[in-house]
Structure 1
């Protein structure tokens, strides 16, 4: 049994960058005056000569990162997801993605679990924004071990990558001895043919708890972890649609533009089935304790299990 590590994926990201930078001298890090929060401060402490604080100016930071990528470096540009993808959208689109430069954008404090920082900082649109940019790879790892592996894959990939980082410390569920990360490939965590639950990021563990609870009730739900939103694993989604006939998506993101829409794009073209989306229903968040907010917005085990029960009952 693997050791359960309770850690925010932002911290796992900072740790992974440090490990990778020990053998890869081209990795450099830029931050927007938020190193303590994004955990790039871990990298700064170890490699102060390869860390640059650009201040509260994300557009400029991404532009500088693009220049360093053009010079052969592997720059990581980090800020809160709201500012990394919102404030710097034009620079990401025109200076990074259009020339397909090797820049990694790290968006921390994404989702409703940003908690007390409130609606202005709880970015629920970042995946949708990044999905619209041609050639952008989007990663949303679910726990410590997956973030460590995803960061390595992002650094090794030649081209622009957006990595979503969470603020809330969560328990790991992957086993590092058996876990394999492959860019663009989903992972089946639980077998079942009654319904397919497709989840991403922090809420994957909540969905895993829910399907295990349901198994004891005689409901066999398949659970798929989609850590790569773009390019999405079409094969695993189509297979689930054909074999279960019903899909439920779970994401800590607006139901518009995120995982749910990405899954709908696939099934509507390849194997039309009914899709139910669990996420934030086109609204802003508000300030409050992270765990209470997740529960309030229906992103925890009890609500996920209830939706699955309702869907299975409806289909009988």
Structure 2
């Protein structure tokens, strides 16, 4: 077993707060950065940004389609635009505008889906974004990513700001621990990060499922002498096919873990590549099944659907039998 530790893991802030902090840092020297919100300045942790840079913030109100259209127009004039709205509404109500005004028109808007996955918890299925990966994977000319910790978030914002290409980033609400491997596995869009190396099974997570996958790997090592590789596959599109090939050639079982429907997300993207290239690894997709989603906190929902440390470890043991 090898955990890639170039720094001690600690409990970081919520990725949304790191997003806001990083954006403020960039805006200090770059007046082209513009933030557009849909009554989401508070939930997007952007009150400090608006207070510091009032001329670089535009509030649209609860009108997500307008949000994306306005953001596309400003981006077409050469500004670096971050359009911030709850992920469930941003990628459903505004899908047509994302497709046509942003991606197909090649306007480099940075779409920030906040409170993603099941972060809204008790507000129920209407406020879950379990469709965003599936929908946006089908749209040409957009990067789709879900940073797992503060390091990945900071790098994603810095790199996205410099890109002349549309980008969708999704963030949850809870504080997230720092993952290891920042030196050995730096963040780059389209390149997954191996944060733990093992010999027996591969756990591939994205966003806030990476931490429970890492915890499950450590539990498997202690309780069962099972050594797991853990990957943060932060970019869903373009997927890191080279890394996936290397993992498949180990010949070990592979589990994908995502805070998304089991349809159309990380798992099906990986499965498609494996099948098309004739790999025969044992394989399992862990996510939210096709049913009316239970109501509760994010942790409650993770436990119910086996996306917790214990659930992932149990799935790994079953696959290895």
Instruction: Give secondary structure in 1 for the equivalent of 2:287.
Output: strand
Q: Is 213-222 or 133-142 further displaced after alignment?
A: 213-222
Q: Is 41-50 or 63-72 further displaced after alignment?
A: 41-50
- Choose the corresponding residue for 2:283, options 272, 275, 280: 275
Deviation at 1:264, TM superposition (A): 1.1
Deviation at 1:130, TM superposition (A): 1.0
Query: When the two structures are aligned, how many residues end up with a matched partner?
Result: 313
- Choose the corresponding residue for 2:305, options 285, 289, 297: 297
Residues 261-272 of structure 1: pairs in structure 2 closer than 5 A: 261-272=268-279
Given that residues 179 and 195 in structure 2 are in contact (C-alpha distance below 8 angstroms), is that contact kept between their aligned partners in structure 1?
no
Instruction: Give secondary structure in 2 for the equivalent of 1:107.
Output: strand
| Distance 1:83-1:168 versus aligned 2 partners, 3 A rule | same
Residues 199-278 of structure 1: pairs in structure 2 closer than 5 A: 199-216=205-222, 217-273=224-280, 274-278=282-286
Deviation at 1:272, TM superposition (A): 2.2
Distance (whole Å) between structure 1 residues aligned to residue 180 and residue 121 of structure 2: 25
Instruction: Give secondary structure in 1 for the equivalent of 2:48.
Output: helix
1:121 corresponds to 2:95:
no
| Distance 1:247-1:176 versus aligned 2 partners, 3 A rule | closer
Given that residues 181 and 195 in structure 2 are in contact (C-alpha distance below 8 angstroms), is that contact kept between their aligned partners in structure 1?
no
Residues 9-28 of structure 1: pairs in structure 2 closer than 5 A: 9-28=15-34
Instruction: Give secondary structure in 1 for the equivalent of 2:116.
Output: coil
Instruction: Give secondary structure in 2 for the equivalent of 1:244.
Output: coil
Distance (whole Å) between structure 2 residues aligned to residue 304 and residue 48 of structure 1: 45
**Counterpart residue number, 1:61:** 67
Q: Is 254-263 or 113-122 further displaced after alignment?
A: 113-122
Distance (whole Å) between structure 2 residues aligned to residue 49 and residue 113 of structure 1: 30
**Counterpart residue number, 1:166:** 172
**Counterpart residue number, 1:89:** 95
Q: Is 276-285 or 101-110 further displaced after alignment?
A: 276-285
Runs (4 or more) in structure 1 with deviation over 4 Å come to 175-179
Structure 1 residues 242-279: Cα deviation after superposition (integer angstroms, max 9, x where no partner) = 11342110001101011001111211122422320111
Given that residues 114 and 168 in structure 1 are in contact (C-alpha distance below 8 angstroms), is that contact kept between their aligned partners in structure 2?
no
Distance (whole Å) between structure 1 residues aligned to residue 183 and residue 241 of structure 2: 27
**Counterpart residue number, 1:137:** 143
State the TM-score, normalized to the length of structure 1: 0.95
Distance (whole Å) between structure 2 residues aligned to residue 168 and residue 183 of structure 1: 23
Q: Is 42-51 or 89-98 further displaced after alignment?
A: 42-51
Instruction: Give secondary structure in 2 for the equivalent of 1:250.
Output: strand
Gaps of 5+ in 1: none
Instruction: Give secondary structure in 2 for the equivalent of 1:68.
Output: helix
State the TM-score, normalized to the length of structure 2: 0.93
- Choose the corresponding residue for 2:163, options 154, 157, 171: 157
Deviation at 1:127, TM superposition (A): 1.1
Deviation at 1:101, TM superposition (A): 1.1
Q: Tell me how large the CA RMSD over aligned residues is.
A: 1.6
Q: Is 229-238 or 261-270 further displaced after alignment?
A: 261-270
1:40 corresponds to 2:46:
yes
1:195 corresponds to 2:201:
yes
Instruction: Give secondary structure in 2 for the equivalent of 1:36.
Output: coil
| Distance 1:160-1:61 versus aligned 2 partners, 3 A rule | same
Given that residues 36 and 71 in structure 2 are in contact (C-alpha distance below 8 angstroms), is that contact kept between their aligned partners in structure 1?
yes
